């Protein structure tokens, strides 16, 4: 049985809700309305990032709920991320301060390194620098220095937990070896077509909680290819959904939480889907259904990060 909360490897703060609201590509009133309704439904985990450009909207809604006595700050788990342009020690500190200012919150519950493959910091606020050919401008930073800055933020009570996103085993082990405050979370793409068994084994060993972005297959990602199969249309998923009188989305979210030690961050602005996504703990998959879904693993990524493939800290033979 999947748990509604994931126990982090730190004694600080409170457990991470296993279902959160992903906010990638959501902005303005669309985000405000979706987040307001999500909080009304009982969502207590919100995932944002400096590079999403929506921290201000997230902060507006959360602070309205706090100000009006609907929730206390300690009841909502906020995750944000340091972008690849800000991986130098001082830049990491500034990035976190900028996020806190955007959110208008005294602290965040989880701060992640968004990606280990650094980008050039032009010092003008550009978060995704491109050269004249339209290619991402890469730069190499020592992520142990990034981590040291994040440890300082923990000591200053500006961040409760710190973690990683899109990291491969070698990069995780490097941080683990040199860290005083251990990573609490690894956020990564994970779904029925990409079950991340190798990384899950590593995370289980180190007691790092995993959170899955794109658990439904990222059908709205900008770089989607018509050649890639649509996870929500998978025949096995749809057959199980029909047998259990559930939606394919519910089946996929439930499955990922049952993989163990893994939360999900589905993104939705539709009221009905927001409702369905948080109800996945009210029913069960049978063992037979779970085994069928396990066979769907094909190591297929929707987010392939082609810009990072030539970076010195990208390891082509390792999962991410």
Count CB neighbours of 69 within 10 A: 7
Alpha-carbon gap, residue 243 to 73, rounded angstroms: 40
Alpha-carbon gap, residue 39 to 70, rounded angstroms: 9
Alpha-carbon gap, residue 103 to 266, rounded angstroms: 21
Between the two ends of the chain, the Cα-to-Cα distance in Å is 26
Alpha-carbon gap, residue 17 to 29, rounded angstroms: 25
Nearest of 148, 119, 153 to residue 136 by alpha carbon: 119
Alpha-carbon gap, residue 289 to 171, rounded angstroms: 35
DSSP string, 166-203: S--HHHHHHHHHH-SSPP-EEEEE-BTTB--HHHHHHH
Alpha-carbon gap, residue 298 to 197, rounded angstroms: 11
Locate tokens 């979210």: which residue? 253
* 62: enclosing H helix or E strand: helix 55-67
Annotated binding-site residue? 45: no
Gyration radius of the chain's alpha carbons: 19
Just list the catalytic residues: 52
Task: Name the binding residues.
Answer: 114
Task: Name the binding residues for substrate.
Answer: 114
């Amino acid at each position: 049985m999947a748990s509604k909360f994931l126990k982090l490897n730190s004694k600080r703060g409170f457990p991470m809700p296993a279902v959160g609201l992903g906010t990638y590509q959501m902005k303005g009133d669309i985000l405000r309305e979706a987040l307001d309704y999500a909080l009304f439904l009982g969502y207590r985990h919100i995932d944002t990032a400096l590079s999403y450009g929506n921290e201000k909207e997230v902060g507006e809604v959360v602070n309205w709920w706090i100000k009006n006595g609907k929730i206390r700050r300690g009841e909502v788990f906020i995750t944000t991320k340091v972008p690849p342009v800000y991986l130098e020690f001082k830049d990491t500190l500034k990035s976190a301060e900028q996020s806190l200012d955007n959110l208008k919150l005294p602290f965040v519950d989880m701060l992640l390194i968004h990606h280990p493959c650094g980008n050039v910091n032009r010092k003008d606020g550009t978060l995704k620098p491109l050269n004249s050919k339209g290619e991402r401008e890469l730069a190499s930073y020592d992520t142990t220095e990034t981590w040291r800055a994040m440890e300082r933020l923990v000591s200053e009570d500006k961040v409760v937990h710190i973690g990683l996103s899109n990291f491969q085993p070698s990069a995780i082990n490097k941080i683990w070896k040199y860290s005083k405050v251990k990573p609490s979370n690894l956020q990564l793409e994970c779904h029925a077509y990409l079950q991340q068994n190798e990384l899950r084994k590593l995370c289980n060993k180190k007691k790092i909680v995993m959170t899955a972005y794109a658990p439904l297959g990222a059908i709205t990602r900008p770089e989607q290819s018509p050649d890639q199969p649509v996870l929500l249309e998978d025949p096995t998923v749809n057959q199980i959904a029909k047998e259990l009188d559930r939606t394919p989305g519910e089946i996929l979210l439930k499955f990922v939480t049952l993989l163990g030690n893994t939360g999900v961050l589905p993104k939705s602005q539709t009221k009905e889907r927001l409702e369905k996504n948080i109800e996945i703990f009210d029913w069960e998959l049978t063992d037979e259904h779970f085994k069928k879904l396990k066979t769907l693993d094909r190591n297929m990524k929707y987010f392939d990060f082609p810009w990072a493939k030539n970076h010195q800290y990208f390891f082509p033979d390792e999962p991410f």
